[in-house]
Amino acid sequence: MSATDDEWTDRSGRVRARWLISPGREPLAGGVVEIVGGRIAAVHARPDPCALDLGNACIIPGLVNAHAHLEFSDLAEPLEPLQPFSAWIGSVVAHRRARASGTAAVGRGHAECAAHGTTCVADILTDDAALAAYDPDGSAVVAFREIIGRLPEQSADRLETARRHLAASPDAGGSPAVIRRGISPHAPYSVAPELYGELIALAAAAKAPVAVHLAETPAELELLHDGRGDLVEMLRRFGLWNEANAIRGSKPLDWLRPLENVPCGLVIHGNYLDAEEIEFLAERPHLTLVYCPRTHTAFGHPRHPWRELLARGGSVALGTDSRASNPDLNLWGEVQFLRQRFPDVPPSVLLELATTAGARALGLDEEDRGLSPGGPADLTVISLPDAARVDGWSALFAPGATIKAAMRGGRWLSGVARALR
């Protein structure tokens, strides 16, 4: 049976494609996925004329975007200048202040994630009202409430914001798309050390995930070690620099150590982590380095340490960051970018970074998400270029392979039927 008309919404019980590919397993030609009650009931390659035929395509585990700022999805192109970093931050702040609300942009970004086959996205929220902007029929969301506070008089209010976000019931002013809540003490240059410690303790007590931007730029390292530099001058211009909070002689490791007791922690970017910090992460698999490849390259950073961490057995996942630094929210585009730049990295590893590794990073690894019976039916479908005889991995990473569809919990994400006819 070919995929036509309303079958995208009415017949998702069994789907088949040219290939089924999951990290760590051999590609399964002509594979069928049987779905019952939103979960995978069976995976096999037996003939099944009643299965919805996705054609020349590959079914993979659902793509997981482990880091995004959907509030900037109203941007047509990245903000400039990208250097110095403080100037780019200034552009980000100016964009936020120039509009009444970012809620519509969040909804737009959420729809873009679904269109690019993302079944779950970790979004950094700066406005509680945006919790209602996620499409219930779109990608699942792990919503991290961003907290910024450099001054002592800000701490009580910021802690209350974090408490309220974590304590809210799942349906409190939000969308059913939100499957988990976390907090994001933004970065060492934007959160006072004392407040950072209190926020981490709050997350640990609530068993909530944490996301922190860390070791992102040389200017951040200079701020931590010397209490001076471009970011300090930026904070002074914003009226946010407080000498009492300038702990000189520190480094990113001092901000990693408090994450020991959280259930899962995302270390965002980590462009300038040193060998000691990489080893710290490698020894703690509940902490994941989230690499945003195209954003990293756009800012002109040197070699990223993601491969070093993987070689030591650590956890790495992928994110798109935002349209303030990236042309789109296409996580598969990040995978293809890495495949081109690092052809020596096994394709199975790249697929894992974009799927099951992202799920583990967000604390969603209580179930096998690698196209296994019993796991949730979160799937992404990749349309393959025409090729007569080619193995599954080569087909998946061939130029021209594009997102075709995505399914969450056995239901096609909104708009699939219209987009794929």
Reported as a single tens digit per residue, the pLDDT across 244-289 is 777 788 999 999 999 999 999 999 999 999 999 999 999 999 999 9
Which of 361, 380, 410 represents a domain boundary (last residue)? 361
376-413 pLDDT, tens digit per residue, is: 999 999 999 886 467 899 999 998 899 999 999 999 99
Q: For residues 211 and 318, state if they share a domain.
A: yes
Answer whether 403's CB lies under 8 Å from 57's CB. no
* Residues across the chain: 421
Q: What tokens does 401 get? A: 């392979």
Q: Which residues contact 159 (CB under 8 A, 6 or more apart)?
A: 195, 198, 199, 202
Query: DSSP characters for 61-76?
Result: EPEEEEEE-GGGTT-S
Token look-up 């130029």 returns: 399
Q: Is 2 within the bounds of a domain?
A: no
- Following CA atoms 163, 169, 174, 180 in sequence, which dihedral angle do they give, to the nearest 10 degrees? 80
Bigger pLDDT: 170 vs 209: 209
Mean per-residue pLDDT over the chain, rounded: 92
Model-level pTM?
Answer: 0.94
The residue type found at 280 is: F
* CA pair distance 271, 53, nearest whole angstrom: 43
Answer whether 23's CB lies under 8 Å from 63's CB. no
Q: For residues 348 and 384, state if they share a domain.
A: no
Instruction: Classify the phi-psi angles of 5: left when phi > 0, otherwise alpha if psi is within -120 to 50, otherwise beta.
Output: left
182-202 pLDDT, tens digit per residue, is: 999 999 999 999 999 999 999
Q: For residues 220 and 97, state if they share a domain.
A: yes
Q: Is 285 within the bounds of a domain?
A: yes
The string over 247-262, giving b where at least 16 C-beta atoms fall within 10 Å of a residue's C-beta and e elsewhere, is eeebbbbebbebbeeb
* CA pair distance 147, 125, nearest whole angstrom: 9
* CA pair distance 242, 237, nearest whole angstrom: 12
* CA pair distance 290, 283, nearest whole angstrom: 16
* Domain assignment of residue 333, given as a range: 63-361
Total domain count for the chain?
A: 2
Q: For residues 203 and 337, state if they share a domain.
A: yes
